[in-house]
Structure 1
Amino acid sequence: MKSCLVVDDSKVIRKVARHILETLDFSVEEAEDGRQALDRCAAQMPDVVLLDWNMPVMGGMEFLRNLRQQDFDTQPKVVFCTTENDVAHIRAALDAGADEFVMKPFDRETLESKLQIVGVA
């Protein structure tokens, strides 16, 4: 079973993402911010991270830069999931090491297609 870490400060978004991912046969862990997410990755690296942009403590870009700089045995696919939709944000996320981008609000079909693109669905 593939694993996904959902990183978002919104409990509602985490709950919706968990529901969708579980219907796609993913095991799901959650984190409320980038700091918690890094700790979870160090403990058990997921196959994919669904990552919010704006969060307290440590935002999505800071998390992503930290994750990609770590010397982990494996690196997860990272799908940014955010309302930030301008080209500059998308380019910055991809340059920092994101694999794909999905806009909020998202549905099962959209998320599934993005997971297929990065090769984890």
Structure 2
Amino acid sequence: MRILVVDDEESILVPLEFLLKKAGHEVALARTGAEALRLLEEGPFDLLVLDLMLPDLDGFAVLERLPQGRKPRVLVLTARGREADRAKALALGAEAFMAKPFGIQDLLAEVQRLSEGL
């Protein structure tokens, strides 16, 4: 599965990249919403792991601007764990929502669940 991870924290990006690659996935990284949208335009991704708090466009803006056509499944992974944030992310098309801190096995299980049926 081809996965784009979007987060501005290196302490999240580096371990996620390692874990997802170790699980057999192809992984690309973006540190801003604008960079994520550019990468999504360049090539298809199966899954977008998206933080809501980014330095330029927030994750909600990224969800609203996803390229038309084959959209990736979206797992929101954020420190913003309020019910309103979850509801808004799901309304904008996210299929899963996990709050930080998160368990590695929980994350990998969610990635596996979202990969089924691709």
Counterpart CA distance in 2 for 1:19 and 1:8 is 14
User: Please, which of 94, 100, 117 is the counterpart of residue 98 of structure 1?
Assistant: 94
Q: Which amino acid aligns with 1:118?
A: L
Question: Where does structure 1 lack aligned partners over 5 or more consecutive residues?
Answer: none
Q: Which amino acid aligns with 2:22?
A: T
Q: Which residue of 1 aligns with 2:18?
A: 19
- C-alpha displacement at 1:84, in angstroms? 1.1
**TM-score with structure 2 setting the length:** 0.92
Q: Is residue 71 from structure 1 mapped to residue 65 from structure 2 by the alignment?
A: no
Percentage of pairs with the same residue: 28
Counterpart CA distance in 1 for 2:39 and 2:98 is 22
Question: Where does structure 2 lack aligned partners over 5 or more consecutive residues?
Answer: none
Q: Which residue of 2 aligns with 1:110?
A: 106
Counterpart CA distance in 1 for 2:92 and 2:41 is 19
2:4–2:29 CA contact under 8 A, matched in 1 = yes
Q: Which amino acid aligns with 1:88?
A: A
- C-alpha displacement at 1:56, in angstroms? 1.0
**TM-score with structure 1 setting the length:** 0.90
Counterpart CA distance in 1 for 2:81 and 2:100 is 9
Counterpart CA distance in 2 for 1:76 and 1:20 is 20
Counterpart CA distance in 1 for 2:22 and 2:80 is 26
- C-alpha displacement at 1:9, in angstroms? 0.7
Which SS does the other structure have where 1:30 is aligned? strand
- C-alpha displacement at 1:110, in angstroms? 0.8
Alignment of 1:9-88 (within 5 A): 9-67=8-66, 70-72=67-69, 74-88=70-84
Let me know the Cα RMSD of the aligned residues: 1.5
- C-alpha displacement at 1:117, in angstroms? 2.8
